[in-house]
A and B are shown apart, each in its own frame.
Chain A
Amino acid sequence: MEKNKKDIRILAIETSCDETAAAVVQNGREVLSNVIYTQIKLHTVFGGVVPEIASRKHIEKINPVIETALSEAGVTLDEIDAVAVTYGPGLVGALLVGVAEAKAIAYGARKALIGVHHIEGHISANYIEHKELEPPFLCLVASGGHSHLVLVKDYGVYEIIGRTRDDAAGEAFDKVARAIGLGYPGGPKVDKLAREGNRHAITFPRAKIMDHPDDFSFSGLKSAVLNYLNQCQMKGIEVNRADVAASFQQAVIDVLTEHTIDAAKRIGVDKVAIAGGVASNSSLRSQMKEACTRRRIRFYHPSPVYCTDNAAMIGTAAYYEYIKGVRHGWDLNAIANLKIGERR
C-alpha cells in the first residue's frame, strides 16, 4: 500500500478476553485490516470464558493473527510507526500474552510502544466510521464486563460520570440467558429471542440509585427475572421465554437510555455515542437513536464488528496517544483493573 510520508500506521494487538485480534490502522481512523480470531465456541461448553484456556489459545494464535493483519493491510512491519496493545483492564493472563508479544515486536523492530486502555479503545471505535465525530461527547459503554457513562472531554481525556454498582449490563444478559436456557454468550441470543416477544408482557424493575442518578444497578433486575421464573415454575405456569427476554431487555434499555440522555442534557453535550458488546443490541440502538433525535442530540454507534472486542479500536485510541507523544517502556505490564483515563 502506497504510503504518504505523513501517514501514521499503527499495528494494534488486543488479547484482553477471548478474542485474539490484530489490526493495522492508518492516521487513526482508516482501518487497513482488522483480524479477529474468536474463541467463543471453545468457551461455550463452560458457560463463560475460562482464563487459562483463553491464554493458551492466545499464544497459539497471536503470530498468525498479526501476520494476517499485516498482509491484509498490504504493509510490512518496516512500514509501521508504532505497536499498540491493550494492557488493561481484562484477564491478566490473557492480557500478558498480547503485552509481551507487542513489546517484543516493538523492541525487535525498533518501533514506538503504546499501551491502550481496553474501554478507551471501545469508545474510540466510534471514530472509525464517523469521521466527523470529535470530542466532547458522552459515551455509554456497556459490555459483559463494563457499564460506564463516560464524558470524553478531549482525545484521551475521560471523566467517568456513572458506573454500575454491581453487575455489568452484558453480565445481566448472560445470566438471564442462562436462566431461560439460551446459553453463552447471552447478549445476541436474548436480542434475537426478544424480537419474538412482547416487551410489555412483564414489568421488571428499573433501578435508580438515590443521590447518584448516573449510576447503574442490574443485579436487582436479574434477581427479579430469576424470581419470576421460579414463581412460574412453582405455580405450574408455562413461561413464555420470548416475553421474558423482551421484557428483561426492555428494562435494561430503558435504564441505559434514560441515564444517558439525562446526563447528556445536564452536562450540556449535543453528541452521544455508545460502545461495547451491548452496543450491538438492535433495540438499544433504535431506542437510543429515537431518544437522541427527540432531544436534538446527534447519536453515534459503531458497526457490530467494532462493538465486540477488536484491535482496530485499539489502533484508533493509540493514534491519539501517539500524536500526543505518549510512549510506553519495555517494562509495560498488564493491569487487570486499570481505570478509565488512568495513565501508567
Chain B
Amino acid sequence: MRILAMDSSGLVASVALVEEENLLAEYTMNLKKTHSETLLPMIDAIVELTGIDLSGIDAIAVSAGPGSFTGLRIGSATAKGLGFALKKPLISVPTLEGMAYHFVESDRLICPMMDARRKQVYTAIYRFVDGELTTVMEGCACSVEELIRKVNELNQEIIFLGDGAAMAREMLEEGVRVEHRYAPLHMNRQRASAVGARAFDLYKKGKTQTAAEHAPVYFRKSQAERELEAKGKHLASDSVSRAH
C-alpha cells in the first residue's frame, strides 16, 4: 500500500511517497518560495526519479490545517485535483498531528507550535500511548502565555517543535517550569513523511474523504466574518446558478 503525502501549511513545502513502514522518497524545502511554484514540481520530481506511477498509489494525504490560509488551499487544491484525476481517496491529516508523528515512540508530551501571527500560535499537546496518538490538549489558536500556563499545569516532560516554538523560544525559556526540549533540525518543522505516517493510521480507521468533500480546517474565521459576527450578523447561505 502506498500513499502520496504533502504539506504546504507553513513556510515548508514537503512531499513524500510512503509505503507501510517504508519511506520511498521525500522532498522538503524550507525557503521563502511560493508553494504554487514548488509543490507540484516537487511531486513531479519524485515521480520522475522513482519511476513510480501515481496511478498505482492507494490514497493522497494532505496536511489539512491549521496553517497559512493560502498555503493550506494550495495543498488542498493540489490533493483534490490529483484525487479527482487519479480517482483516489484523500486523507485529511490535521497539521499538528502530522508534526507530532515525528516523535511517535516518545513517552514525553509532544507540543507542536505554529506561528499563527497576531501574537498567537496554533498548537496542541499530544501523548503517544502504545504507539497510539492521544490528545492531551485539543488543537487551538492561543497566546504563548496561555500555552505556557497549560504546560506548567500538566507538569510533565515535554518536547516543543515547529516555527512557533522557534518564534516563542525566549518566552518558553522564561515561563516553562517543567523539563522541556526542542526538536532537532530534522524534526522541527512539517514534513510529509510524518503526514504520511499519520495518514496510514487514519486510513486503517477508515478516515478517508472523496476529493470533492475535502476542504482545509482553518481554526480561524476570516477577519471580515469575525467583524460581521461582532455586529451580530452572519453570512448568507449558498446560491448556485448554472448557465449554458
Using CB atoms and an 8 Å cutoff, list the residues of chain A in contact with chain B: 31, 33-42, 44-46, 50, 52-53, 55-56, 58-60, 62-64, 66-68, 72, 77, 92-93, 96-109, 305, 310, 329-334
> Given that A41-B236, A46-B224, A55-B73 are contacting pairs, would A104 and B82 also be in contact in the complex, using a CB cutoff of 8 Å?
yes
Report chain B residues within 8 Å CB of A97: 73, 77
**B22 on the A face (CB < 8 A):** no
Contact, CB under 8 Å: A331 / B235 = no
List CB contacts (< 8 Å) of B50-65 with chain A. 54
Taking a contact as CB atoms closer than 8 A, the residue among A35, A45, A56, A332 that contacts B233 in the complex is A45
Using CB atoms and an 8 Å cutoff, list the residues of chain B in contact with chain A: 34, 36-41, 43-44, 54, 69-70, 73-74, 76-82, 84-86, 211-212, 215-216, 218, 222-225, 228, 233, 235-244
Distance, CA A40 to CA B239, complexed state (A): 8
- Is the contact region of chain A dominated by helix, strand, or loop, or is it mixed? helix
Distance, CA A258 to CA B41, complexed state (A): 49
Q: Counting chain A CB atoms within 10 Å of each CB, which of B74, B223, B237 scores highest?
A: B74
Contact, CB under 8 Å: A104 / B222 = no
Contact, CB under 8 Å: A63 / B224 = no
Taking a contact as CB atoms closer than 8 A, the residue among B36, B85, B223, B224 that contacts A108 in the complex is B85
Report chain B residues within 8 Å CB of A99: 36, 77
Contact, CB under 8 Å: A107 / B40 = yes
Taking a contact as CB atoms closer than 8 A, the residue among A42, A100, A334 that contacts B78 in the complex is A100
Contact, CB under 8 Å: A108 / B84 = yes
Smallest CB-CB separation from A108: which chain B residue? Answer: B85
How far is the CB of B67 from the nearest CB of chain A, in Å? 13
Distance, CA A44 to CA B236, complexed state (A): 9
Taking a contact as CB atoms closer than 8 A, the residue among B37, B40, B70, B223 that contacts A104 in the complex is B40
How far is the CB of A50 from the nearest CB of chain B, in Å? 4
Q: Counting chain A CB atoms within 10 Å of each CB, which of B34, B43, B77 scores highest?
A: B77
Distance, CA A50 to CA B224, complexed state (A): 7
Report chain A residues within 8 Å CB of B238: 41-42
> Given that A101-B81, A334-B36 are contacting pairs, would A45 and B236 also be in contact in the complex, using a CB cutoff of 8 Å?
yes
Contact, CB under 8 Å: B40 / A46 = no
Contact, CB under 8 Å: B77 / A104 = yes
Taking a contact as CB atoms closer than 8 A, the residue among A31, A98, A108 that contacts B82 in the complex is A108
Contact, CB under 8 Å: B70 / A55 = yes
Contact, CB under 8 Å: A53 / B235 = yes
**The 4 nearest A-B residue pairs measured at CB:** A104-B81, A108-B85, A100-B77, A52-B222
Contact, CB under 8 Å: A52 / B40 = no
Report chain B residues within 8 Å CB of A40: 239
Complex A-B: 10 CB contacts under 8 Å: A42-B235, A45-B236, A52-B224, A58-B73, A59-B73, A59-B76, A62-B80, A103-B78, A108-B85, A334-B36
Contact, CB under 8 Å: B222 / A53 = yes
Distance, CA A38 to CA B239, complexed state (A): 7
Contact, CB under 8 Å: A104 / B85 = yes
Taking a contact as CB atoms closer than 8 A, the residue among B44, B211, B222 that contacts A107 in the complex is B44
Distance, CA A66 to CA B85, complexed state (A): 11
Report chain A residues within 8 Å CB of B38: 331
Report chain B residues within 8 Å CB of A332: 36
How far is the CB of A47 from the nearest CB of chain B, in Å? 11
Contact, CB under 8 Å: B34 / A41 = no
Report chain A residues within 8 Å CB of B236: 41-42, 44-45
Contact, CB under 8 Å: B69 / A52 = yes
Report chain A residues within 8 Å CB of B70: 55, 92-93, 96
Contact, CB under 8 Å: B239 / A104 = no
Taking a contact as CB atoms closer than 8 A, the residue among A42, A310, A330 that contacts B44 in the complex is A330
Taking a contact as CB atoms closer than 8 A, the residue among A38, A50, A96, A108 that contacts B81 in the complex is A108
Taking a contact as CB atoms closer than 8 A, the residue among B41, B81, B223 that contacts A331 in the complex is B41
Distance, CA A52 to CA B225, complexed state (A): 9
> Given that A52-B224, A59-B216 are contacting pairs, would A36 and B36 also be in contact in the complex, using a CB cutoff of 8 Å?
no
Smallest CB-CB separation from B72: which chain A residue? Answer: A59
Report chain A residues within 8 Å CB of B84: 63, 66-67, 77, 104-105, 108
Taking a contact as CB atoms closer than 8 A, the residue among B34, B211, B237, B241 that contacts A36 in the complex is B241
Contact, CB under 8 Å: A52 / B44 = no
Distance, CA A309 to CA B45, complexed state (A): 35
Report chain B residues within 8 Å CB of A108: 54, 81-82, 84-86
Contact, CB under 8 Å: B80 / A104 = yes
Distance, CA A262 to CA B238, complexed state (A): 44
Report chain B residues within 8 Å CB of A329: 41
Smallest CB-CB separation from A69: which chain B residue? Answer: B242
Report chain A residues within 8 Å CB of B223: 52
Contact, CB under 8 Å: B36 / A107 = no
Contact, CB under 8 Å: A93 / B69 = yes
Contact, CB under 8 Å: B243 / A305 = yes
Contact, CB under 8 Å: B73 / A333 = no
Distance, CA A35 to CA B202, complexed state (A): 34
Distance, CA A101 to CA B238, complexed state (A): 22
> Given that A56-B222, A59-B215, A108-B85 are contacting pairs, would A100 and B240 also be in contact in the complex, using a CB cutoff of 8 Å?
no
